[in-house]
Each structure stands twice: as C-alpha cells, then as structure tokens.
Amino acid sequence: MDGPGAEGARLPPARAGSRLCVRCGERKAALKRPKTLEQICRECFYIVFEDEIHQTIVENSLFKAGERVAIGASGGKDSTVLAHVLSELNCHHNYGLDLFLLSVDEGITGYRDDSLETVKRNEIQYGLPLKIASYKDLYGWTMDNIVKAIGLKNNCTFCGVFRRQALDRGAALLKADKIVTGHSADDIAETVLLNILRGDIARLSRCTFITTGEDGPIPRCKPFKYTYEKEIVIYPVYEISYIFISFFTTPTLFKIENGLIWLYHDPGIYSPNAYRGFAREFIKDLERMRPRAILDIIKSGENFRISTTRRMPEQGTCERCGYISSQKLCKACVLLDGLNRGLPKLGIGRTKAGAGAESDGKQRTKRSERNTSSLQGKHGNFDF
Amino acid sequence: MAAAASACGGAGCRPQCSASAGGEGDAPAESMGRLSISAAAATCGKCDGGGAAVAVAGGVGMCADCFRAHLFGKFKLAVTSNAMVRPTDAVLLAFSGGPASRVALQFIHEMQSKAIQSWETSNSQALPAFRLGVAFVDESVLSVRPGHEIDMAIEDIKSILSSLSPGDKQLHVAPLEDVISSGSDDKAARLKELVGVINDETGRDDFIRCLRMLSLQKIALENGYTKIMLGTCASGIACHVLSATVKGQGYALPADVQYVDTRWEVPVVLPLHDCLAQELNLLCELYSLKTQQLLNRPCSGINGLVASFVSRLREENPSREHTILRTAQKLKPFSFNKFSANGYHDFLPSRLRPKFQNIDANESTFSEILCLICGSPFSESELQNLENTKHKAQKKIDLYTAHCCQSCHFQILPAATDMHGHFFSLLPKFWTEKVDTASASHSSVRDQIADYLLDEDDEN
C-alpha cells in the first residue's frame, strides 16, 4: 500500500480475477476510493459520491425548496463538478431549486476567455442558465483598464479584492437567495491550518462553517465540505469533459496521463506567503499517509474550544455599498475611489490610508491584503 | 507529555540538525538556523559588554550571559507565575537527555540551590527548599540500540547530577516495561506484544508516549513526588498543536498546551513552555551542557511529518512556532489546567496570592471524562457515544472501547473488534482499573445477578 492516496487517484484497469467491489459485491472493483481506500466499482463510486453530498445537503439543511441558487462557476474542476452534481441531485431528490451558473469576468484579454467557454459549454450540457458578472458591470473597470492605470505592479490587490465581492454583487444583481461554491474538504482543511499558522482565532472559528453569512441576505455554502479533491478529480473522468483552468494568481500546471488530469502547485508562485504552499503540500503528504486526516482536521476545526466571550474583531458594513467591512469603507470602495479619482495607489501598501479610512487603517489594510486569499466566505448586504 | 520533551529537543528538529552538526567549526550556527553565534557582532544589545554575541529570533544581539539570563527569566516567570513549585514540593524532573530537559535540570537546580542557600543563611527563617529528583525512562526494550550505550548514558546522567550541588538529586531509572502490571510473566515480552498489536505507525508512537507518562507517574507516586516537571518547550508544543489538529483532537488540544496539567494523579508542569528548541540547543552549545543525542527518539508517521513541516515553517519565519502556540493558547483551557486545591497558595509570596484567589469552588473538581489511553477530555460526540454504550454494554470490553477517544480508537485500538479483548488484557492495569472503578456501581449490580443472566453468545 505504498502511497495509497496517489494510487487512489488513478483508475486501475479492471484485471481478471481482481477483487469485487466492497459495496455491491457484484461488479469488479475499478478504483480505490481516495477517502476510505475501499475498493469499489465505478457505478458504486458515483452512487456514494453523490449520496454523500446529498446527505451533507440534507443534514445541514443547506437549501429550501424554491430557492434561487447561484453556483459560483470558474470553469475549473470543482465548480464544474459542483454544477453537474447539484443539477443531478436537484432532479433526483426534488430539491426544487432554481439553479444558475454565475461566473465572474475580470476583463483580462485571453485569460478568462477559455474558462468562460467551458462554463458556456456547461450551460448547454446541464441546461443551467449562465450569468456572467463582469468587473465592467460591477465596478465600471475591467482588469485590463486597471492594469493600464496602475501598471503591472500591485494589480493583484485590485483583482483579489474585486473578485471577493464580485460573486456577492453579481448574485445580488441576479436576485439569488444563496451562493454555492466548490470548496472541497482539502480547501477547508488547508484554511484551518493556515488560520492556526497565522494565529487568526476569529477566522479559525468561522472557517469550518458549511454556511457563512446567514445573517446577511445572500448566505454562501459549501456542499463539497466533506468531499475530497481527489474524488472531485476522479468523478468527471467519464462523465464530463472540462478544461482545466485556474485563477491566474494560482498558476496550476497540469498534465494529462491515464485519462486523468494531474495537478501541480508550485508553492513559489502560488502565493506571496510561502507557508500557504507548504500547508498545501503538507496536506497532500498527510493524505497519502492517512486519508482520513483531512476529515480529522475539519473535525478539529469544528470542535476547537473557542471561548464565546473572547472579543472578536468587529464586523461592520461599508458605508457606501453595505458590504461587510471592518472599516468605514470596504476595501473595494477604497480602491475604486482611488481609481475613479485618478489616484490608483490609494489604499495599497503602507502609503496613505485613503480617504474615509480610519487613521489606524494602515495596519489593518495591510492585514486584510494578506488575507485576501483566504477562503472565508464573505457575504454581501447590498442595497442596490 | 513526557515525550514531547524529546519530540522537539530530540526528534523534532533533529533530522536536519543532527545531520548538519557534524563537528565542524560552523556546525552550531548551521544547526541553529537563524540563531547564530557570530563573533563579528561586536556588542551585546543588553549589557553593552563584549564577547561573542548571539542573534536571537527577534534580531537583538545578546552576549552569552544575557542570553542565558533571558532564558532563565522565561523559565522562572513560568514557574512563579503559575505556582508550579511550592516550598514543600518534591519535584520529579523527567530527563530524556535532550537539550530541553538538560536546560530544565540546570535551571531548576539553580532555583533549588538558591532556596537552600536562603534557608541556610536565614537560620531557617525562610521557606524550606523543595526536593528535586530526576527520572529517566529506559526504553531499551523497544529500541535496537545495544544495552551498553544505554548504560553509558545512565552513567553520564549520574555524573551530571553529581556535578550539581548543593542539594541531593536522586536518580530514578525505570525501564518502560515496568508499567505493565506486575505478574510472574515476562513484562518486556508483554510490552513488545502490546506495541506490536498496534498497526498504525503514528498510533504506536503516541502510545509509547502515553506509556512514558504512565511510567513517570508511577515513579512519582512510588517515591512521594508531588510534581512532575517536563522539558516540553514551545517548539514541541507547536508540533503537538498541529499533530493534534491533524488527528482530529481539536477539542482536547487546549488541555495539552498549558503550563499546568493536573488531570494526572501527580500534576505535570511545563516551565519551558515559552522557550524554543533552538534557543535551548544554543544554550547547551554555549555552556557546554552535556546532552545525550544517543537517546534521541525520532518520531515517525504523522508526528514526523508534522515535525518536518514545522521546521520548514521555521526556516521561512523563525517566529512561526510562537504564533502557532499563541493560537492554541487562545483556545479555552480545561478546569484541570490550573492548581486549585485548598490551601495550595499558602506558601506563595503574598503579592502572587491574589492571582489565585478567585477560583470558582465548583471548578475545583473537574468533571471531564478522559480517554482511557491518552487522557484527552471527551468531546460532546464522544460523550454521547459513551452514554449510549453504557446503557447497552454487555461486556467490559465494550465499556473500555467506549472509554477511548476517537483518535485512539482509530490509531491505537486494533482494527478487528475481536482483537479488543486481547489488547485490553495486555494494557497496564492502571488504565483499565480507572474504568472499572468508574463503572463499579453499575457493574456490581450486574455481578450480583450475573449467574442468572444468559450469555448472548451462548448458543447452547
């Protein structure tokens, strides 16, 4: 059993005389489930995979009948599989949901085009309507224009901050009741670890919630909370075709082998904080050693004894747009303000804290910048 | 735990360190990472004295003496502000031979000799000095190391102790197999069998750690010690924070990261809680405190993976271990993480007493249910499971199983349930007896009517 995790991601050809599926006991086992290392057949894999997500949805009562649900679709594997599974489950189990795909177009020539193509293909394939929220519509600026204004340095700040809000703003525009995202168990485990590494107790207490922002108008939920990334990769091998594209801040190298797409993350380019890359690698190593470690990390995250009396940083709302913010104005509004006033450097780095920001805003701004890559589901409170 | 001392001082950062410390001139600097001995830096940032300065993680250069005073200050603060040692106490120091326990021995010896001195000079008017003993758990039964190496190490420890005066320090060497309940049969073989039953590498590692703690408890109880002092340092705790998280022990985690842990019969204190393993290594290097690298117990499985992950994080940011520790300290500790017995603070200096006065009387006895093996407090779901089993448990084995936390259940208990009986029969009685007494009231009723009950398994 060397490297069970790595083995598990490959679909071994069914050999004559090989073992039977442990679940149905009839068909030949076709793969080792990454989550449990059980040898099961292809049919059973699809059944358990979808069943577990259904159980997660039912047990946590993620949806109510008649809700309008936006699926955050990037064109990557997670969101593509999420769209597929949700539309299947919606039909099978009569959730009665009005599903649609919501994509964000940053307006970068040549970057989103391919992934948006994928999403468009998904639209046709699953019969889910696709809505595209572009930076142009939401903020009045495309990333290309922003780059023209600010140059090649620091533009990640804009894109990151704007993207965080784009889904919420887009969903609000399209009158969605809920947003679902394709965050997998691996992602959540990684966030738990990162929050421990950076001492962020407030986020540590929130990051394992399956639904965030329930007090806001558009809660976000993660139906893949207990779903392993490796299984998400296995799932579409025969079912769906998709193009592999990830955010440009997180360049993903991939190769296609044995009908599977293999991923590499280069921790060096992945993030300015190298420890995020370390954490990701660490989780992969752990999974290889003990597959259930990912679920155990999530369990730890849920069970941490975080004192309710401990003072948490307050979460206010932005005076201008109503988005969640610790300052008077949210980061996006500060940046937008700078752009519109022709001072694009406003709100970046250690320079002036920016109009409307509090005097101690500098440090907080810096901190929030560092955390922009966090998984934390933020919700909107829009008043459009 | 007892092993944590070695996990950081010994194995935690060892794979890289011991490899690079090959006896060359620049080896110490290399092995210390950012903590380097640089003769070039002219003066000490604290005392302005000359001599080789030591760059501490914060960036301030310090001379060797100031560095030592800095660490001793941290140690002393931990001891006094948590009321770790009373004048009437008998302290048993768990000595693994690594840098952490070596420094702990040095520092606690200094505190003791100061107390002895003031007792003598003040003509017995001052507070009496505490008693100090040293325990060494001999694990040769589980290692492949030749016996004479262990003997040599023990000789070394004896010579270290004899060089520390005033104050007699008794050395207790206990073989690990002593924890196995006494009987006529071969304890070593039983211990080997018990450890062999555990399939998971990480589980085996953690299990030996629990046995080590049991062994220390046994030494302390038999020799009248009232405190056990461990050399667990900040780096070791940081590793533990991550590995406990990875093993799903998030609920129980805060119990292990505090200064004081009274859930054991003899309370355990961690005075090196705030010192990094690198700092302790460096101190041993600077003051040529003899350490026993031979006795390193490298951690394996997940614990080893976590240790290498932490050492990688440390390279990227030297203060990362402190950050991890801070996160863990923001979690709510358990009621057994402080001393609260009546009259406990009588000997404290009066200015410290108010700190401990406001203890809720209700909390003085803790109600948490602890895992039979590792002593982790039970989370809600584990409690629920235990309650359910208590009602329908037919056999003692089921009750034992329910008294193990989910993590031990997975990584220590044998996978096949029919092996459980065998496993629990091998376990030290000390552990299973606790469950027996806890369920005594329940089972005694059952015993009275046992003759009249038909066994479910009995098909005849």
- For residue B165, give the CATH number of its domain: 3.40.50.620
**A232–chain B nearest CA distance, Å:** 22
Query: Does A199 contact B327 at a Cβ distance shorter than 8 Å?
Result: yes
Shared domain check, B165 and B256: yes
Residues of A with CB under 8 A from a CB of B: 192-193, 195-201, 204, 274-275, 278, 282, 285-286, 289-290, 292-293, 295-297, 299-307, 310
Q: Which of A273, A294, A354, A364 is nearest to A326 (CA)?
A: A364
Are B326 and A275 a contacting pair at CB < 8 A? no
Chain A interface, mutation test: which of B241, B300, B316, B327, most A Cβ atoms within 10 Å?
Answer: B327
Which tops the pLDDT comparison, B410 or A276?
A: B410
Separation of alpha carbons A235 and B383, rounded Å: 36
B69 domain residue, yes or no: no
Instruction: Please give the full DSSP string across A183-206, using - where no structure is assigned.
Output: --HHHHHHHHHHHHHTT-HHHHHH
| Higher-confidence position of A285 and B349 | A285
Residues linked to residue A316 through DSSP beta bridges, in sequence order: A325
Dist. CA A146–CA A138, nearest whole Å? 14
More reliable by pLDDT, A134 or B453: A134
Cα angle at A134 between A130 and A140, to 5 degrees? Answer: 150
Task: From chain B, pick out residues whose CB is under 8 angstroms from the CB of A293.
Answer: 246-247, 302
Co-location of B249 and B331 in the same domain: yes
- In this structure, the answer to whether residues B175 and B220 fall within a common structural domain is yes
- As given in the structure block, the two tokens for residue B50 are 């000359």
Helix (H, G, I), strand (E, B) or coil at B107: helix
Check whether residue B257 and residue B388 sit in a common domain: no
A-facing residues of B in 64-123 (CB < 8 A) are none
pTM for the model stands at 0.80
Strand order in B37-38's β-sheet? B37-38, B53-55, B61-63
Kindly give the confidence (pLDDT) of every residue in chain B, 460 residues in length, as a single tens digit, with 9 standing for 90 and above: 434 444 443 333 333 333 333 333 333 444 444 455 554 455 676 776 655 556 554 556 778 888 899 899 999 999 988 888 888 889 999 998 889 999 999 999 999 998 888 888 887 666 788 899 999 998 888 877 777 888 888 898 899 998 887 778 899 999 888 888 766 568 888 888 889 999 899 999 999 999 999 999 999 999 999 999 999 999 999 999 999 999 999 999 999 999 999 888 899 999 999 999 988 998 998 888 888 776 666 778 899 999 999 999 998 888 899 999 999 999 998 888 887 654 555 555 555 554 554 444 444 455 678 898 999 999 888 888 888 887 776 778 888 888 899 999 999 998 888 888 888 888 888 888 877 776 665 555 555 555 665 655 544 4
Residues B230, B201 share a domain: yes
What is the domain extent for residue B413?
A: 380-450
**Residue B61 falls inside a structural domain:** no
B324 in reach of chain A (CB within 8 A)? yes
Whether B247 contacts chain A with CB within 8 A: yes
Are the beta carbons of A290 and B330 separated by less than 8 Å? no
Pairing of strands B131-138, B169-175: parallel
Which CATH number fits the domain A53-303, given the four candidates 3.40.50.620, 3.20.20.140, 3.40.50.12280, 3.30.930.10? 3.40.50.620
Give, rounded to a whole angstrom, the gap between the first and last alpha carbons of chain A.
56
- Are B100 and B60 in contact by the 8 Å Cβ rule? The answer is no
Partner A, chain B 127-156, Cβ-Cβ below 8 Å: none
Which residues of chain A have a CB within 8 Å of the CB of B246? 286, 293, 296-297, 300
Cβ atoms < 10 Å from Cβ of A91: 9
d(CA A360, CA B402): 52
Where do the structural domains in chain A lie, given as residue ranges? 53-303
Assess if residue B48 is contained within a domain: no
Closest CA to A188 of A163, A167, A218, A209: A209
Tell me, yes or no, whether B374 lies in a domain. no
Rounded to whole angstroms, the Cα distance separating B314 from A274 reads 12
Measure Cα distances from B384 to A17, B254, B389, B405, B417 in Å: 43, 21, 9, 12, 20
Does one domain contain both B342 and B425? no
Do the interacting molecules here have an ipTM over 0.95? no
Please check whether residue B407 touches A, CB under 8 A.
yes
Asked if residue B263 is part of any domain, the answer here is yes
Instruction: Give the residue from B245, B302, B310, B408 with the most A CB atoms within 10 Å of its CB, the best one to mutate.
Output: B245
Q: Cα–Cα distance between B264 and B259 in angstroms, integer?
A: 14
Interchain proximity A303–B332, CB inside 8 Å: no
* Pairwise CA distance, residues A244 & A251, whole Å: 11
Whether residues B183 and B225 share a domain: the answer is: yes
Residues B175 and B237 in one domain: yes
Which residue among B241, B244, B302 sits closest to A290, beta carbon to beta carbon? Answer: B302
Q: Inspect the interface and report whether the beta carbons of B246 and A297 lie closer than 8 Å.
A: yes
B199, B313, B330, B383: which to substitute to probe chain A, counting the most A Cβ within 10 Å?
B330
Of A198, A285, A303, the CB nearest to B323: A198
Cβ contact B242–A196 (<8 Å): yes
Q: Which residues of A are annotated as a binding site for ATP?
A: 72-74, 78, 104, 182, 187
Tell me the C-alpha distance between B450 and A99, whole Å: 61
d(CA A221, CA A72): 10
Contact present, A188 and A298 (Cβ < 8 Å) = yes
Distance in angstroms (rounded) separating the CA atoms of residues A185 and A138: 31
Inform me whether the C-beta atom of residue B174 falls under 8 Å from chain A C-beta atoms: no
* Packed helices B301-316 and B201-222: angle between N→C axes, nearest 10 degrees: 90
Evaluate whether residue B100 is within a structural domain: yes
| Count of positions (residues) in chain A | 384
Residue B5 counted as domain residue: no
Nearest CA to B132 among B114, B150, B147, B144?
Answer: B114
Question: Which chain A residue has its CA at the smallest distance from B323's CA?
Answer: A199
CB contact under 8 A, A199 and B330: yes
Which member of B249, B312, B410 has the closest CB to residue A300? B249
B241 and B388 in one domain? no
**Do B329 and B395 fall into the same domain?**
no
Asked if the model's pLDDT at residue A137 lies above 90, the reply is no
Distance in angstroms (rounded) separating the CA atoms of residues B213 and B219:
10
Structurally, how many domains does chain B consist of? 2
Contacts of A285 in chain B (CB under 8 A): 305
- Give the pLDDT confidence score for residue B341 in this predicted structure: 53
Residue that is last in its domain, among B333, B362, B391: B362
Quick check: is B148 in a domain? Answer: yes
Phi-psi region of A17 (alpha: psi -120 to 50; beta: other; left: phi over 0): left
Of B313, B331, B362, the position where a domain reaches its end is: B362
Claim to verify: residue B240 and residue B113 sit in the same structural domain:
yes
Spell out the SS3 assignment of B117-165.
HHHHHCCCCCCCCCEEEEEEEECHHHCCCCHHHHHHHHHHHHHHHHHCC
Contacts of A292 in chain B (CB under 8 A): 410
Residue B94: per-residue pLDDT: 94
Residue B114: strand, helix, or coil: helix
B330 touches chain A (CB under 8 A): yes
Q: Which residues contact B321 (CB under 8 A, 6 or more apart)?
A: B234, B235, B238, B276, B310, B313, B314
Q: B442 and B343 share a domain? A: no
